[in-house]
Amino acid sequence: MKITSEHVIVHSMKKNLLKMQVTDCDFTKIRVGIVASSYNQKLSQSLLFGCKKGLRSQGVLNKRITLLWAPGAFEIPFMCRKLMLLKKFDILIALGVIIKGETDHYEYVCKGTVEGLISLNLLGEIPIIFEVLMVHNFEHALARCSRVDMHNNKGYEAALAAFNMIEALDRIRYNALV
């Protein structure tokens, strides 16, 4: 089923409601680059499953999706930059799971990943959808990586966010030409 402007997906995030809407744009021609962390790979694969399901829901074919696996979340910004330099993609999606351990490593990896992706997004070349989960335990990660319920799969939400970003950019381009 195609999502139209009448469909609104509502989910709860930290007791706030976040509304994500995808409209009637034709997304079948977009080129998507996905960079996923191979660390916590089973969880990342679940995010990827949801992301691809979301992309396919709007007609994006597998041949228009390029996937790169980064060794860990810290390396995701580097891999995203490499895809950016190719200038073949309309949007990039960063997927991964960072689980807090007993050392400070978690904070450094989270900070480096966030800062790296923010820096790339601010370049303004290609938008990057950020869906690197930063959680305190495995159970929190599992709750956000469901393969059954796409409302509990942050990868699926990343695909919807990608469509919203592409539509917003199209509106900006259209208004700039009018």
What's at 22, amino acid-wise?
V
The fraction of the chain above a pLDDT of 90, given in percent, is 65
CA separation for the pair 76, 55 (Å, rounded):
20
Question: What's the CATH code, domain 28-177?
Answer: 3.40.50.960
CB atoms < 10 A from the CB of 59, how many?
Answer: 13
Rounded Cα distance between 177 and 15, Å, is 40
22 pLDDT higher than 60: no
E strand or H helix that includes residue 12:
strand 8-13
Catalytic residues: 105
Angle at the Cα of 121 from the Cα atoms of 32 and 109, rounded to 5 degrees: 95
More confident residue, 42 or 150: 42
Residue 98 pLDDT > 50 = yes
Domain ranges of the chain: 28-177
pLDDT value of position 25: 73
Mean pLDDT of 98-120: 93
**Residue 134: enclosing H or E segment and its boundaries?**
strand 128-135
User: Is 28 a residue whose pLDDT tops 60?
Assistant: yes
pLDDT band at 20 (very low <50, low <70, confident <90, very high): very low
Angle in degrees, 0-180, between the axes of helices 154-177 and 41-57, rounded to the nearest 10: 50
Q: How much is the average pLDDT of 7-25?
A: 38
**How far is Cα 29 from Cα 172, in angstroms, rounded to an integer?**
19
Instruction: Calculate the alpha carbon distances from 2 to 5, 19, 94, 156, 165 in Å.
Output: 10, 18, 24, 14, 17
| Pairwise pLDDT comparison (41 vs 25), residue with the higher score | 41
Q: What is the length of the chain?
A: 178
